[in-house]
Structure 1
Amino acid sequence: MQIDILSEVTDEVADAFTRLLPQLSSSAAPLSRAALAAIAAHPATTVFVARDGETIVGTLTLVLYPIITGLRAHIDDVVVDSAARGKGVGEALTMAAVRRAGEAGVRTVDLTSRPSREGANRLYQRLGFELRESNLYRYTIRQK
């Protein structure tokens, strides 16, 4: 298992995201190569990819952003290929993101996970993430 930071969007990377994105979200629109490259190049994001040999089997996005109370970190869009689950891919990706956040000076790392993702929730708790009592609100902006 090798964890890399995405720096270049190749055909292999584009194909991997085309395969992985539907496993993450049934409603997410496919990403163009340009959109994926823009995300990878954005100064607030670090996109990690996990490889099993030559095959990309997972990805995670770490977002670092400054706010009044300090530098914050959030893990988003974690997905492991269904054929690679249970092999430590999610753990390797998550811990790589935690290390990167720590190196940046962040004190805490947040993430959210739907309750139905039981395996992912068990993993995060096993890695030391603590369930916070909080209200998560979402406002949907209607596009014209």
Structure 2
Amino acid sequence: MTISISPVSDVTPELVEAMKRLLPELSSASPPSAKELCEIVASPATVLFVARSDVQAIVGVLTFVSFRLPTGMRTWIEDVIVDSNARGLGVGAALCQTAIRYASELGAVSIDLTSRPSRIAANQLYQKLGFQRRETNVYRYTVAP
């Protein structure tokens, strides 16, 4: 299977349907609407990368986030999702390697990401790619709707 990675420039019905199919594999959150995907694609802080195979159209996605702070350019990898039928075929690695190259082009010195401990294969992939586990506290404040 040949995998190609590209940034999304236009939100298509294919992308909307792919997100409906893929997001439940990562989260119980509702899949983004076409309007929300347009906001993601239009944002200067995010790049949505899609992985396509020659067998199935969209088989994975990764959201790359970048923003400048007083301490430098910060970059994050978020919402890496690979179709369960395409796991183990290098899709996640290809998505992450593309994000790493993109971060380098931006002049970032590091990329952060988080992954639940229960996602064993994902954590192994990130370590294999050179990501190092950090000793830090991650806090979350839930803002009431």
TM-score bracket for this pair, using the shorter chain length: over 0.9
Cα distance in 1, alignment partners of residues 99 and 131 from structure 2: 13
Q: How much is the aligned-residue C-alpha RMSD, in angstroms? A: 0.8
Number of corresponding residues: 142
Structure 2 counterpart of 1:138, one-letter code: R
Secondary structure of the structure 2 residue equivalent to 1:110? coil
What are the within-5 Å matches in structure 2 for residues 1-144 of structure 1?
A: 1-26=3-28, 28-53=29-54, 55-143=57-145
* TM-score of the two chains, using structure 2 as the length reference: 0.96
2:60 alignment partner, SS class: strand
Q: Amino acid of the residue matched to residue 110 of structure 2? A: T
Q: 1:111, CA displacement in angstroms?
A: 0.3
Inter-partner Cα distance in structure 1 for 2:32 and 2:118: 25
Q: Which amino acid in structure 2 is aligned with residue 111 of structure 1?
A: L
Q: Secondary structure at the match of 2:40?
A: helix
1:142 offset after TM fit, Å?
A: 1.5
Stretches of structure 1 lacking an aligned partner (at least 5 in a row): none
TM-score with structure 1 setting the length: 0.96
**Percent identical:** 54
Gaps of 5+ in 2: none
